[in-house]
Amino acid sequence: MVMVCYYNHLLTPVGGVRFSITKPSVLRAETNNPMASDLSSDRSVFRGVSSSSPIRRRDLVFVVNPRGANGRTGKEWKKLLPYLQSRLGSDCNICESLTSGPSHAIDITREAIREGADAVIAVGGDGTLHEVVNGFFWDGKPVANWNTEAVHSTALGLIPLGTGSDFARTLGWKNDPREAIDRIARGVRSRIDVGVISREGEGSHYFINVADIHLSAKAGFYASRYKKFGNLCYVIGALQAFIGHHNQDLRIKVNEGEWQTLSQVTALCVGNAKYFGGGMKITPNADPQSGSFEVVILQDFKWYDFILKLHKLYNGTHLSLNNVTSRNVYTIEVDEISGSGNIFIQSDGEHLGFLPRKLSILPGAIEMIC
């Protein structure tokens, strides 16, 4: 028998959103009836039930976006439950939490870390992973376990089930959720870098994959409206973004140096990992364990350049083009020159608004189950 538990919670705004936890409730799910643990979307799960075994059982919190990939994530998750329970149930407290809307995964993750979970596993696409990563931080600092004597930290895990799985591609993982569960069962951890995006007078935002500016960010903004078309949404978004697009002069400051001007920028991509846009190898030399970003800058691209050179963008050979440059950085500030206020920025496919922004690397900021 596997214990699957949940907390009824009360949202209380304290400079943002925090959780006030009430008494836990427990749902018992027989291994031969996996659907019994299918909780409604307003039941958030944070911590498992303590085991009577002298060996401490791991508390694993699975954050699931049931509406991801047009509902496919929720359906695939239900199918995975029997294997998950058989593979992990004897050694772990399996805790399920279904998100109910935007940013819910952030709140769930923060509470799980504070309550001492061994790992928070994002179940879904890059959007769910992005929210879970942001849940590891609060007010510009890592979230800490409320138990100051705890000897373990909370790790990040991933079961890719969404529209895009670009971060998993960087790690060389197959799009196989059972293989992901096997990794979680082994529990091997490795430190990975995280990017942080800041702007004067605003809170920090974190990313694990790729942040991008101008055309590609605008394309991602439009692509989010067409998720029902699967990976085709990225193509549709790019076509829509090209309507009325103009290359722009930008200025950048690298590693706290002097400002420099970049002429006719089409897109500027800051990679902690290699892929974005459903498999485009945009920052091919990026490594989330290197302690630095790879910044790739595309200049003076025309609409037909993307059609003629799209294959190079997907296989990562575009760095050989004359109007593409690449460099490794620790920090980069990006601002526009025209003052239009309409240069898009996004990270991990999430729209963040417009320039200016500063992007910095946080080396080894999170332990990840690899």
126 is catalytic: yes
Looking up tokens 């992990």 gives 88
Tens of pLDDT, residues 104-162: 999 999 999 999 999 999 999 899 999 999 999 999 999 999 988 787 899 999 999 86
Q: Domain holding 282: CATH number?
A: 2.60.200.40
CA–CA gap between residue 262 and residue 251 (Å, rounded): 6
Would 256 be classed as within a structural domain?
yes
Q: Which domain holds residue 158?
A: 5-187
Residues 339, 219 share a domain:
yes
Tokens for 309, please give them. Answer: 């050179």
Whole-angstrom distance, CA of residue 332 vs CA of residue 254: 5
DSSP calls for 9-56: EEEE-SSS-EEEEEEEEEEEE-TT-GGGG---TT-B---PPPPSSSSP
Give CA–CA dist 51/94, Å, rounded: 12
Q: Which of 59, 107, 118, 126 does the annotation list as catalytic?
A: 126
Do 230 and 119 lie in one domain? The reply is no
Asked whether residue 324 is domain-assigned, the answer is yes
Q: Into how many domains does the chain fold?
A: 2
Residues 6+ positions from 49 with CB-CB distance below 8 Å: 3, 5, 24, 26, 93
Residues 76, 225 within the same domain: no
Whether 160 and 252 share a structural domain: no
Residue 192, in any domain of the structure? no
155, 225: one domain:
no
The verdict on residue 196 lying in a domain is: no
Region of 140 on the Ramachandran plot (φ > 0 left; ψ -120 to 50 alpha; else beta):
left
Both 239 and 357 in a single domain?
A: yes
167 in a structural domain? yes
- Verify that 282 and 321 share a domain, yes or no: yes
Tell me the HSE value of 202 on the side-chain side, using a 13 A CA sphere.
14
**pLDDT at site 174:** 86
| pLDDT of amino acid 14 | 26
Q: Are residues 164 and 258 in the same domain?
A: no
Same-domain status, 94 and 230:
no
Q: What's residue 36's pLDDT?
A: 32
Whether 24 and 164 share a structural domain:
yes
Q: Are residues 84 and 126 in the same domain?
A: yes
Nearest to 297 by CA among 359, 355, 336, 250: 250
Tens of each residue's pLDDT in the chain, 370 residues: 334 444 333 332 223 333 333 323 232 333 333 333 333 333 333 434 344 445 678 999 999 999 888 888 999 999 999 999 999 998 899 999 999 999 999 999 999 999 999 999 999 989 999 999 999 999 999 999 998 878 789 999 999 986 668 999 999 998 899 999 999 999 999 999 999 999 988 999 999 999 999 999 998 888 877 777 766 777 777 778 888 889 999 999 999 999 999 999 999 999 999 999 888 999 999 999 999 999 999 999 988 888 899 899 999 999 999 999 999 999 999 999 988 889 999 999 899 999 999 999 999 999 999 9
Q: What is the pLDDT of residues 17-65, one digit of tens each?
A: 333 333 232 323 333 333 333 333 333 334 343 444 456 789 999 999 9
